[in-house]
């Protein structure tokens, strides 16, 4: 049986949330760490926000939660999502179905490379304005989602390089 499946190698990951202050910065540093742990430190990970101002520091609770997991967000500065970023990314992760729909409305060509980060497509709620425990819960959900995605990407690969199968 001949398959028309093409292998698409993932070299650039973009993680997107609303303000690039809480969830996506945590996901960015966690994803980098987990890729490095798998020997894939050369994969580039970046993050951005759909509705933010450039150059804002990560939320203090996000910084604290990251530090508890030996991650550093002290130098993080928010970035507003741009079309150049969208075109740059091989795969993009968002936190909610609404964010995915906003991306698809603005950039229809991202269908097929934009996914919910949460495990099995679950939404990861925004902890902004909520108690610190909500940041810890978001961190746990982010880690579960990253592990789930990396496991799926690696399961499809015999050469230990993350990739997705594109049947188009």
Q: Which member of 17, 22, 31, 143 is catalytic?
A: 17
Separation between Cα atoms, residue 44 and residue 49, nearest integer Å: 17
DSSP notation for 46-80: EEEESS--TTPBPPHHHHHHHHHTT---TT-B--B
Q: Which member of 126, 144, 148, 161 is catalytic?
A: 126
Is-catalytic flag, 37? no
Separation between Cα atoms, residue 134 and residue 132, nearest integer Å: 5
Is-catalytic flag, 125? no
CB 141 within 8 A of CB 24: no
Q: Which member of 22, 23, 31, 46 is catalytic?
A: 23
Among the residues of the chain, which ranges form H helices?
A: 23-37, 60-68, 83-88, 97-106, 132-155
Give catalytic residues, as residue numbers: 17, 23, 126
């Amino acid at each position: 049986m001949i398959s028309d499946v093409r292998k698409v190698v993932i070299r650039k990951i973009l993680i997107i949330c609303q303000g690039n202050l809480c969830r996506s910065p945590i996901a960015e540093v966690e994803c980098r760490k987990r890729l490095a742990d798998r020997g894939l430190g050369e994969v580039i990970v970046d993050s951005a926000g759909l509705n933010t101002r450039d150059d804002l520091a990560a939320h203090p609770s996000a910084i604290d939660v990251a530090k508890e997991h030996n991650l550093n967000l002290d130098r993080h500065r928010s970035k507003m999502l741009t079309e150049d970023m969208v075109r740059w990314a091989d795969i993009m992760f968002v936190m909610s179905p609404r964010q995915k729909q906003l991306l698809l409305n603005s950039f229809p060509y991202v269908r097929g490379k934009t996914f919910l980060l949460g495990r099995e497509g679950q939404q990861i709620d925004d902890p902004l304005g909520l108690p610190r425990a909500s940041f810890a819960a978001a961190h746990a959900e982010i880690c579960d989602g990253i592990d789930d995605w990396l496991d799926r990407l690696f399961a499809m690969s015999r050469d230990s390089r993350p990739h997705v199968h594109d049947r188009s």
